[in-house]
Amino acid sequence: MKIAVLKSGAIGDLLLITPAVRSLRDFYPHAVIDVFCPYEYSHVLAANPSVTNIRTFSMTRIHSLSGRFGEAVKIISMLKGYDVSLTLNTDRRWQALPLLAGIKNRICVKSRGHRADDCLKAVSALTGQQTDMSGYVFVPDQSDIDVPTEKYIAIAPGGGHNVKMSSPQKIWDKYPQLIEMILQRTELSVVILGDSRDTLPLTGNRIYDRTGITTLSDCYRLIANAERFIGNDSGLTHLAACTKTPITALYGPTDPAHTAPKNAAVIASGLPCSPCETRGCFSCPENRCMRRISVDGVFNTLKEFD
């Protein structure tokens, strides 16, 4: 049997489907299970043992007016010949592609709750059997990144940007104050993770700035060796869920009930207008809900290190 799993999205979106992909492999150990995903983020699943092949399309082109039609035609062509499709995007435009490719057995995800659970329910719709959450999966490449020898907190202050869009509403602006508090009140060091846009104006003997110089596998290794991870709703927060490191996740305009790692200590603003995100759109251009989160509230999740 040949199964096509179709999912667009960035790092976090692809990690959220990994429990479903693993469950699919458990039910069909000898099937060809190919994942169709953006090449910009395909490295997230490149070494996943449950995946037979990664088949890619351009997320940049699919979200551009000039390239959208051609890329859709390309995806339809690649989907031809599969026995089953599992579309893990709720957008009906994505769900139409396997139909246009002539796949007769088509399963589509339904938005009901946590996105990882929704994907597992789609697998259950195919197999007719119950599936269970078994954790996110990321298999890192070889990483030679230096890991601090002392105990440290891994912090990812950024996120909210990918090929499709930028979402500054997800960003908490008090990370510098939090880091200063950690350095003053604990013996822990701090490792800062993210891309070059996430650098903070901080220096010090116990601050390790790794923004813009790490691969995803480097980040995985640094998070896995940390005492705790702190981050916004971002790809690195979902990457942290692939490790055993305790997580503090900061949520404002997005709904933690839909995407937060289930083992995370979630801190949200509590504003009545939060969460407000719908299909990548936000009710306000500001991040009032994130600014409402206090430094003390986040620091208190570190109380076991007092």
**Which pLDDT value is given to residue 114?**
93
DSSP calls for 48-73: -TT-SEEEEE-HHHHTSTTTHHHHHH
For residue 275, whether the previous peptide bond is cis, meaning omega lies within 30 degrees of 0, is yes
**pLDDT tens digits, residue range 146-159?**
999 999 999 999 87
**pLDDT tens digits, residue range 83-93?**
999 999 999 99
The runs of H, that is alpha helices, within the chain are 11-16, 18-27, 59-62, 68-79, 92-100, 115-127, 175-185, 216-224, 235-240, 256-259, 288-291, 295-299
Write out the two tokens for 137.
């999966």
**pLDDT tens digits, residue range 43-57?**
999 999 999 999 999
Instruction: Give the integer Cα–Cα distance in Å for 66 and 264.
Output: 40
**Which pLDDT value is given to residue 57?**
95
**pLDDT tens digits, residue range 254-275?**
899 999 998 899 999 888 888 8
User: Contact 249/233 with Cβ under 8 angstroms?
Assistant: yes
pLDDT grade, residue 33 (50/70/90)?
very high
**pLDDT tens digits, residue range 110-131?**
988 999 999 999 999 999 998 8
User: Where do the structural domains in the chain lie, given as residue ranges?
Assistant: 2-127, 152-305
pLDDT over threshold 80, residue 285: no
User: Which one is the CATH code of 152-305: 3.40.50.1000, 3.40.50.2000, 3.40.50.1360, 3.40.50.1100?
Assistant: 3.40.50.2000
**Which pLDDT value is given to residue 25?**
96
The whole-number average pLDDT for the span 71-79 is 96
Higher pLDDT, 286 or 191: 191
**pLDDT tens digits, residue range 202-223?**
888 899 999 999 999 999 999 9
Higher pLDDT, 106 or 170: 106
The CATH architecture that domain 2-127 belongs to is: 3-Layer(aba) Sandwich (3.40)
- Same topology, domains 2-127 and 152-305? Answer is yes
**Which pLDDT value is given to residue 163?**
58
Percent of the chain surpassing pLDDT 90:
73
Average pLDDT, the chain: 91
pLDDT grade, residue 161 (50/70/90)?
low
**Which pLDDT value is given to residue 165?**
61
Instruction: Give the integer Cα–Cα distance in Å for 221 and 127.
Output: 35
**Which pLDDT value is given to residue 6?**
98
**Which pLDDT value is given to residue 284?**
77
Instruction: Give the integer Cα–Cα distance in Å for 48 and 100.
Output: 28
**Which pLDDT value is given to residue 66?**
86
Q: pTM for this one?
A: 0.93
Q: Which amino acid is located at 99 in the chain?
A: L
pLDDT grade, residue 108 (50/70/90)?
very high
Instruction: Give the integer Cα–Cα distance in Å for 57 and 272.
Output: 39
